[in-house]
Structure 1
Amino acid sequence: MNDAFDRWVYWFFAGDAALEAEGLQSSIQWIAPWAPWVTIAILVGGGALIAWIYYRERSTKQAWFKPTLAAMRIALVALVLFMLYGLSLRPYRTDTPDLVIALDDSQSMSHVDTLTGEQQSQIESRLTAAGYPDASRWNQGRTLLIGEDWLEQLQSRYRLKGYYIGDSGRAWSGDVEHWSEMLSTAEANRPASRLGDSLTEIFQQQRGRPTAAVVLLTDGITTEGKSLSDAAIVARRRGAPLFVVGLGSRQRQLNLRIEDLDVERAAFVGDPLSFKFRLGATGMAGKTAKVTLRRKDDPQILEEKSIPVATDELTRQIDLQYRPTEKGDYTFIISVEAGDEEVDLSDNQATAQVAVRDDAIKVLLVDSQPRFEYRYLKTLFERQLKPISSSGRPENAFDLTAILQDSDMEYSDQDAVAARIFPASQEELFQYDVLVIGDANPAFLSRMNLELVNKFVVEKGGGVIFVAGDLYLPWQYGGTPVASLFPFQLEGAQRPAAPLENSIPVKLSNLGVTSPPLQIGANTSETLRRWDSIKQLYWLPEFTSLKPGAQVLASARDRFDPKGEPVPLLMQQFVGGGKVMFLASDDLWRWEYHDPFWMQTIRYLARASVLGGGWGAELAASRNEYERGEPVRLRVRFFDDRKAPTSDQGVTVMVEQSGGRQRRVSLARTSGSRDTFEAAISDLPEGEYRAWIAEPVMSDAPEQAATSFRIEATAGEMARLAADFDELRAAATAAGGKFYAFDDATQLLKDLPEGRQVRIETLSPIPVWNSWKLATLFVGLIVGEWLLRKRGGLL
């Protein structure tokens, strides 16, 4: 029988029995005296016979008269058949379905969100009416349960089960009548949010119990264990839908962080220092972050920037520039401020050490003829002054010695910087910081001179830049001791054709964009624009076979070698302990930014001399603290890139947990950089860690490069305060329930399912086939038929 027939039977025959008491249900039972087809045959055959008999009766004046009589006689037959089935009610005592109320009491629920506008007014008015002084998430949950009488309304429909779900699923003590008093004095102070695990524990305690639904009041933040989505799968399997009320604001907790600070560790007084770092901002949409640069133990702000933050989650590369005014070894501090609203300030600053020197760079310039490039360079190195002099008097930035091979013997006596011959001893040559060798004739250089140049690079670790010429370099240097210094095979070098009519456009390689000598603009876009502005490059040879260690920094944009590679303009390679650069054209003297390029190139090549060999490398982690499971990014940077391994996997770091095991981690060279190696580790357990460089061994470094960091077991409860409504909505949907915000939470009371009652006791059956209602109906039908027949004259 279907539900409609059951309800009709309850109403007509046993309404009183069905409504005796709460927790009592009845079902209808009968005993068939024969097969169902017999009943159908009797009804159909008897109905047809009765209809035929009344059809044969003599006619009456009313057309409805005989059909009515036939229907009454058929109803009497059906009623007799109905009574023969022995219909009875089987009462059962039932258990009211449970409704689980789960309230999050973790510490994040005590947070008072920053609300604005109409939402703030509505929430605060409801909480004030409930007697709560602030609109914390905890008070919002208590307002619904106590202040707006949810407990009282739900108690009339369900057997209520109350639980806390902070760090575990804990049942509320006492009877429902005492819950209001208990919740009034309770606090949200649990140190962890294990929402998924806690909900799973509740389902285990509810095993075997009829659970209509689970009402969950939480901010959705899980710091440990299973997620709510995982628990929602269990809820759906148990047939207990989740009706979730999200409490709090989705706005993320305000936090600013500085990561991966990068700056040149050596500079000259007055030169621009570029502090590059990543600024991360969370919960800062519409606000402004203030970034400042200062020296350690000095409150004076050297540089600052205001960064507008447009989105709630932002990661942006920032560049602060500063020109040091005094020489010395300094510790610079980059800080970012966000006001008093920020909770975690541990990642708001980063430090870097920089050696600032004021020494003039000793440069040896060699060429065969006074060509334009030689003249421009000689003038630059002779007249360039230090931006700021420690003595207060104008001082030269370069200490130049020039050798012009085709000059007269008296030239060296007339020019203060001119020298007659190339240094003949290692001691003489090694006093220079950088060698600039133009189109010098190797016939005027002895083999010993050329061997000294090779030793200058390989043994001293000095810097050399060659500038190609149409007479000698590099064409006449094959088989000489300096042939190994060139970044290409001399046999494949091809002289250019006659000068072109149109200038060759230049483009920087990915490595060139980040290479210090080529940074001639205030930023990357300005640097690219200036290199693109070269309009006077008419002479460029081709080098079809580069050496394996060669790096192309700049090349022609529209000229390609037989292999389809752009023809290089500027190349570099590391030989022994030194750096070698090769400029394949002597046309740059026409360029507007010729002097800045050469000044930065000379300083780049002289970096080893500036550092004095006393600095090795630094090892840094991107942050000091990590949550378990977060990747720890380790970075090794060599202050002198000559000392960086040639292999891209040539750096190994040892990571040691305090009181635990050691672990070797291989770092890989970052793309576009020779001196930087990185790696990420994501499976470290909680604890304190120390890391140091194991390979290569920096024997000349003053101290071992090392860093420390900490892995925390979990994020602090107050470390992430943005309510996770997306997770709550997904969990409710997965479990077959619904999600509500605090504003529309009252709709939940109407949407809750009735649940399924469980039979726990069977009572004695109540017969209804011999009910007085049936007897009255039977007599009524017989009397009615007799009266109608008499009235119609059918008796």
Structure 2
Amino acid sequence: MDWLRTLFYPGSTSSSGSTSLTFEGLDPGWALIGWIVFALVLWWLHARLISNTPRVKRGVIVGLRLLFAAALLFAATRPVLITTLVEKVRQKLIVMVDASASMDLADLRTSPEDRARALIASGKLSPDGGLSQTVPSDAARPTRRDVVKSIASNGKLNLWSQLNDRAELVFYTFGHDATETPPPASGTDGVAAAKAFFDALPANDQTTALGESLRQILDRHRGEPLAGVFVMTDGANNRGLAPSEAAVSARADGIPLFLYGVGVTEPKDVALTSADAPRIAFLKERVNIRVRLTANGFEGQPVVVSLRDPAVPNSALLAESTVTLAARGTVDTELSFIPEKAGEIALEVASKPLDGEASADNNVTTVRIRVIDNRVRVFMIDQEPRWDWRYLLDFLQDDRRLTLKCVLLDGDPSLLKLPNTPFIAELPNDRAALYDSDIILLGDVDPARLGRERMQLIREWVDQAGGGLVFLAGPNHNPRSYLGTPLEALLPVVPLSGPVDQLIARHPEPVQLALTSSGARSPLLRLAERESDNTAAWRQFAGVRWTAKVARARPGAEVLLVDPSPSRATPNGPGPVLARQRFGRGEVMYFGFNETYRWRSSLGGKYYSKIWSQIFQALSLERLSGASKQVQLRVDRPEYQLGERVVISGRLYQPDFKPLIADVVPARASFTTANSPDPIQQEVMLRPVPEEAGGYRAEFTPAVPGRYKFYTMLDPTALVELDVVEPRLEQSDAAMNLALLDATATASGGRLLREENLFELPKLLEDKSGSVTSLKRLELAYSPVLMALILLFACAEWLVRRLNRLK
């Protein structure tokens, strides 16, 4: 159809697109029929009316009139030439570069392949020569950021010049989110912009939100023609959306993700991954801190792990341990020390850096421990003296960390007259006296002697005040007589009812109790650092003659010790004899045997004291971690990362220990920072928790890192303390996550790139080049040529008529 364009619009350029002719006015078929009819009628009229005119002249006039009519009818059909143009466009290439702190890691490249990659990036090896090129054995240790920068100045690779020829480059850095680099000055090409971008590349963000940053960029550029997204990263993703989800979204939009992985997949490194310390410790009592190291590439090498108090200048070592590292994986050790002062202490646990480590930033961590000098208040209730009661009474009286009160319902009254006696005459009846206890040991007591009202108080004390309750079984009442009482639900086991002689029957021979898998892992029953040594220690204990027969462990209870004998079996397995469960804010333990004194036989009191001490510390933790007896507020953990929401919750009591009822309780968060040692106050409101008597909760998000102290106006001296720190997620794992990068690229329809195939990226973009389809309209009815022809035919016809003196 180009001849029509040339005919009606002389001088117009021809198009490489496809052209079609359409009509938007009178139907061309009807126009043709009308013209034929008009021609026949016109010829007949001329033959009849001007028959005396020579045939040639008559034919000329008819022809001119028919041409005039044809031009008019052609214009009436409104012919339009439509040209479909498909043009290549310059798409955008989004360049995302990791600006997190892990990009400043200097990887020790031990393999020839990894050394070759660094040399390819710097231009010292051919970009398309692969990894089989000859490399020196003593290659330098550039940081990951330096490797990325060297690509920008690599003349052999010439990456950014080629990318700039194929797409408009838009640069972003990303860490916790994506930040666009301001566009270059007018006239600046993409190569210069790339050089300026990489010269100023930071590496200081403490988190990497790869998936979230991809989502942000895809949302910002939705609807724009994108050639793809080129991501330069070590593959960390420690916050926000999973990269795979962003990749699926990119694939749906037809946007491939090209991920270039920088770093090494198995760097030589030692990381101190965890240091577990108790939240509460007693003054001048040994504290154990379990430390876990993760190592790679240092098989058989020793590493020194130390414990110091950084608050004390030039402080001596509190503890030190040397462990031998495995080839790859984790190794545990234990540090122990004796705190010499009460209060909150922050201790530094560190592993000495080894030569060749990828990073020493992950070799240090901090643990916080609250050292208390106040004693745990233990209230012991039993009906009559038993062997186990005697041994336990001696331990409780000798332990300086405990304060004991004891009621022996059927005991000798002379016990009340002993010097410094722990015995009291009768059970307390008021809430305040009961709530003053941290732990209650309930022996083989007839529940009728306790009374239903007092049992209800004990239940509320556990549920609401976080008390620790221990059921000490006996053949007379505990636990079977507590069926149907307020304390039944607190038992970690379901008691049996039936013939008494069957329930109290003794074993014909001693039965050795067995640790469950939970018991072997539990810190309450830990007698040795290694699990195998711990199990061996428990096997040394003498067997017992009697255990309480129960129906089963209660759902949700944790069974630590079992009686393996068939006579005590339950439908769910061996009979539980030591179990624990949470009940409200407190914790309950069940001892289904009355021979814990056998833990002393042949082994002395070493293990006996250790087991009971660990149990008492666990049971009193909820009460001791509260700000005070009246203000039982706490946080989940002593340290939060900046940006995390802090939740403070617990219970508040009136002076008589009845739950406080108020619509709101004013409180304050006071904090200090490194730049502002003077306390800054922030108001926080505690609001009641629905359906929880005396329960209150407050939330706030700290704006700056520092030391925070939270207190209420009820008791400003009762402090809840916590630290807010900058996140250090980047130091936890030094390895490049190649699997994550590969999965993300594949899910998007893109490709994973390393230094050996980075030169292929410009060709991949060429294959992905975009085009824009447009339609160009040319209306022939308004063509000057057509208008001129109509005028020409009309004038010629008029002139012929005038020359022949015709009307």
TM-score (norm 1): 0.52
Q: 1:679 to 1:161 in 2, by over 3 A?
A: same
- 8 A Cα contact 1:25 1:94, kept in partner: no
Number of residues of Structure 1 aligned to a counterpart in Structure 2: 616
State the distance in 2 between where 1:204 and 1:663 align. Answer: 47
- 8 A Cα contact 2:94 2:229, kept in partner: yes
Query: Superposed, which structure 2 residues align to 1:198-347 within 5 Å?
Result: 198=217, 204-206=223-225, 214=228, 216=230, 218-219=232-233, 245-249=260-264, 261-263=276-278, 265-267=280-282, 269=284, 271-275=285-289, 291-295=305-309, 297-298=311-312, 299-305=315-321, 319-323=334-338, 331=345, 333-337=347-351, 339=353, 342=359
1:353 maps onto 2:391 in alignment: no
Query: Superposed, which structure 2 residues align to 1:672-711 within 5 Å?
Result: 687=703, 702-707=717-722, 709=724
Query: Superposed, which structure 2 residues align to 1:783-794 within 5 Å?
Result: none
AA aligned to 1:142 is A
Residue 781 (structure 1) aligns with:
none
Offset, 1:605: 5.7
1:742 to 755, 760, 785: 755
State the distance in 1 between where 2:406 and 2:602 align. Answer: 25
AA aligned to 2:568 is F
- 8 A Cα contact 2:635 2:648, kept in partner: yes
State the distance in 1 between where 2:228 and 2:148 align. Answer: 18
- Which runs of no fewer than 5 residues in structure 1 stay unpaired? 1-22, 32-90, 208-212, 388-396, 647-651, 670-676, 763-795
Q: 1:202 to 1:143 in 2, by over 3 A?
A: farther
1:187 to 193, 198, 212: 198
State the distance in 2 between where 1:563 and 1:664 align. Answer: 45
Residue 139 (structure 1) aligns with:
149
The alignment's C-alpha RMSD in Å is 7.4
- 8 A Cα contact 1:693 1:704, kept in partner: yes
Q: 1:327 to 1:197 in 2, by over 3 A?
A: closer
- 8 A Cα contact 1:330 1:356, kept in partner: no
Is the partner of 2:605 in helix, strand or coil?
Answer: helix
1:584 to 593, 602, 614: 593
AA aligned to 1:114 is D
Query: Superposed, which structure 2 residues align to 1:468-479 within 5 Å?
Result: none
AA aligned to 1:321 is S
AA aligned to 2:287 is L
State the distance in 2 between where 1:734 and 1:95 align. Answer: 29
AA aligned to 2:337 is Y
Q: 1:503 to 1:437 in 2, by over 3 A?
A: same
Residue 116 (structure 1) aligns with:
109
- 8 A Cα contact 2:271 2:363, kept in partner: no
Q: 1:555 to 1:734 in 2, by over 3 A?
A: closer
AA aligned to 1:265 is I
Offset, 1:741: 1.2
- 8 A Cα contact 1:244 1:732, kept in partner: yes
CA deviations over 1:410-430 (Å, ceiling 9, x no partner): x99xxx9999x9765899x99
Q: 1:313 to 1:378 in 2, by over 3 A?
A: closer
Residue 625 (structure 1) aligns with:
641
- 8 A Cα contact 1:668 1:678, kept in partner: no
Residue 72 (structure 2) aligns with:
none
AA aligned to 1:585 is N
State the distance in 2 between where 1:439 and 1:115 align. Answer: 65
Offset, 1:744: 2.3
State the distance in 2 between where 1:530 and 1:519 align. Answer: 9
Question: Identity across aligned pairs (percent)?
Answer: 16
2:549 to 539, 542, 552: 542
Offset, 1:110: 7.2
Is the partner of 1:187 in helix, strand or coil?
Answer: helix
2:538 to 531, 537, 553: 531
AA aligned to 2:594 is S
Offset, 1:742: 1.3
Is the partner of 2:318 in helix, strand or coil?
Answer: strand
Q: 1:288 to 1:486 in 2, by over 3 A?
A: same
State the distance in 2 between where 1:593 and 1:701 align. Answer: 48
- 8 A Cα contact 1:289 1:308, kept in partner: yes
Offset, 1:585: 3.2
State the distance in 1 between where 2:182 and 2:520 align. Answer: 60
Query: Superposed, which structure 2 residues align to 1:442-461 within 5 Å?
Result: none
- Which runs of no fewer than 5 residues in structure 2 stay unpaired? 1-12, 22-82, 127-139, 174-178, 660-664, 671-680, 777-807
State the distance in 1 between where 2:548 and 2:293 align. Answer: 46
Residue 504 (structure 1) aligns with:
511
Q: 1:354 to 1:30 in 2, by over 3 A?
A: closer
- 8 A Cα contact 2:558 2:580, kept in partner: yes
State the distance in 2 between where 1:497 and 1:107 align. Answer: 70
Offset, 1:508: 4.9
TM-score (norm 2): 0.52
Offset, 1:556: 1.7
State the distance in 2 between where 1:732 and 1:308 align. Answer: 39
- 8 A Cα contact 1:685 1:711, kept in partner: no
Offset, 1:160: 4.8
- 8 A Cα contact 2:305 2:352, kept in partner: no
State the distance in 2 between where 1:599 and 1:517 align. Answer: 12
- 8 A Cα contact 2:376 2:438, kept in partner: no
Is the partner of 2:345 in helix, strand or coil?
Answer: strand
CA deviations over 1:445-497 (Å, ceiling 9, x no partner): xx99xx99999999999999897777x78799999x99999969898683467
Residue 500 (structure 2) aligns with:
494
Offset, 1:540: 3.4
CA deviations over 1:731-789 (Å, ceiling 9, x no partner): 55455454331122234456665657779999xxxxxxxxxxxxxxxxxxxxxxxxxxx
Q: 1:634 to 1:520 in 2, by over 3 A?
A: farther
Offset, 1:537: 1.7
Offset, 1:127: 2.1
Offset, 1:352: 0.8
Residue 127 (structure 1) aligns with:
122
- 8 A Cα contact 2:90 2:168, kept in partner: yes
